[in-house]
């Protein structure tokens, strides 16, 4: 079995910086975080420092542990440099199948032959991504949830050719990061969580768009009626309407037309009302009370 000591995370955004932090802080791995521009890398490091500082303020981490965590994190914009000595590469790029395929092909060329390549994708086929490499047996899904620093679940997804050795190695890494794992035995769109959750979020957006109920009543109904910790429209803002739309379209194209996206959801994406990442979605995140 591949012994994972060094991890590379491709992407310093919403998920990438969080995965980097968990790998370094909890897993105590040496981690390289890479993005395509220095400003993205710098912003990712700022978010990691801010997150670690919140753990310190809550007495869940000492200042010394924060410094040790940061010392285990390295950053670069050079892909070859980032993956050249990695045991595990975790891709956390935007939810775009073609972009991910290109990244997987580039990683396959530059990473060591024994390196595992995992994707944090929430909907793209692992088998499809593996086909862009010459090591499909060493490709799998490793789907974290937002924010990775707090959410306990990781979906480990097998592609058609993923080996048992690769699966076990990823399960071991996830558990070292103190995550709970579920194994998705069959590479199916949306895996487990998003196969169930995304249609619910899409329907909530459609209810709001149709004027069936107001935003606050839709969220209140689901919080109190289904005991969700937050309403679907607020959750949609946390995830990002663009991400939810992308997953919905994958479900529609690959599973069944019944999963077609809400008109309201598509309109919000067109207007760049993506939720927290742009400041406005169903909620106004520029106001202090909604942060």
Question: By percentage, how much of the chain surpasses pLDDT 70?
Answer: 98
Residue 291 clears pLDDT 60, i.e. is over it: no
- Would the pLDDT of 11 be above 80? yes
**Whole-number pLDDT of residue 290:** 46
pLDDT at 95 over 90: no
Predicted local distance difference test score (pLDDT) of residue 287: 81
Complete domains list, the chain, with CATH? 6-184 (3.40.50.720), 194-280 (1.10.1040.10)
pLDDT of residue 150: 93
Per-residue model confidence (pLDDT) at position 288: 54
Mean pLDDT of the chain: 95
Q: What integer is the mean pLDDT of 127-152? A: 96
Q: How far is CA 125 from CA 71, 96, 122, 189, in A?
A: 35, 11, 9, 6
Non-local (6+) Cβ contacts of 124 within 8 A are 95, 97, 100, 250
Q: What is the mean pLDDT of the segment spanning 78-103?
A: 96
**Among candidate residues 182, 130, 118, the one with its CA nearest the CA of residue 159:** 130
Phi, psi dihedral angles at 30 (to 5 degrees):
-80, 125
Pairing of strands 88-91, 73-76: unpaired
Helices (H), 111-143: 126-130
Per-residue model confidence (pLDDT) at position 122: 87
Residue scoring higher pLDDT (231 or 124): 231
Work out the average pLDDT over 50-68. Answer: 96
Encoded tokens for 14: 């919403």
Q: Per-residue pLDDT averaged across 265-278, rounded?
A: 95
Q: Whole-prediction pTM value?
A: 0.89
The set of catalytic residues is 122, 143, 155, 194
Tokens 């558990």 belong to 175
pLDDT (average), residues 141-154 = 95
What mean pLDDT comes out for the span 32-43?
Answer: 97
Query: pLDDT tens across 205-255, in order?
Result: 999 999 999 999 999 999 999 999 999 999 999 989 998 999 999 899 999
Q: What is the pLDDT of residue 126?
A: 97
Query: Do 240 and 286 meet the contact criterion of CB atoms below 8 Å apart?
Result: no
pLDDT at 35: 97
Report the distance separating Cα 31 and Cα 182, nearest Å. 24
pLDDT(184) > 60:
yes
């Amino acid at each position: 079995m591949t012994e994972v000591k060094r991890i590379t995370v491709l992407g310093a955004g919403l998920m990438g910086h969080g995965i980097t932090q968990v790998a370094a802080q909890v897993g105590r791995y040496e981690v390289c975080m890479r993005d395509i521009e220095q400003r993205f890398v710098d912003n990712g490091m700022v978010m990691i420092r801010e997150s670690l500082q919140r753990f310190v303020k809550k007495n869940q981490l000492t200042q010394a542990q924060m410094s040790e965590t940061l010392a285990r994190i390295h950053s670069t914009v050079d892909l070859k440099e980032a993956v050249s000595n990695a045991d595990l590469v975790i891709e956390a790029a935007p939810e775009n199948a073609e972009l991910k395929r290109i990244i997987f092909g580039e990683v396959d060329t530059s990473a060591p032959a024994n390196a595992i390549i995992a994707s944090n994708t929430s909907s793209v086929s692992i088998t499809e991504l593996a086909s862009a490499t010459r090591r499909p047996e060493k490709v799998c899904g490793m789907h974290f949830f937002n924010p990775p620093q707090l959410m306990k679940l990781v979906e480990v997804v097998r592609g058609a050719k993923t080996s048992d050795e690769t699966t076990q190695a990823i399960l071991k890494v996830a558990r070292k990061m103190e995550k709970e794992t579920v194994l998705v035995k069959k590479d199916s769109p949306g895996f487990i969580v998003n196969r169930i959750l995304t249609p619910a979020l899409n329907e909530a957006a459609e209810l709001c768009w149709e004027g069936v109920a107001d935003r606050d009543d839709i969220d209140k109904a689901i919080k109190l009626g289904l005991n969700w910790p937050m309403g679907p429209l607020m959750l949609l803002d946390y995830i990002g309407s663009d991400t939810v739309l992308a997953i919905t379209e994958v479900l529609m194209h690959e599973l069944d037309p019944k999963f077609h996206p809400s008109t309201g959801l598509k309109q919000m994406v067109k207007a760049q009302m993506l939720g927290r990442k742009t400041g406005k979605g169903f909620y106004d995140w520029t106001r202090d009370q909604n942060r």
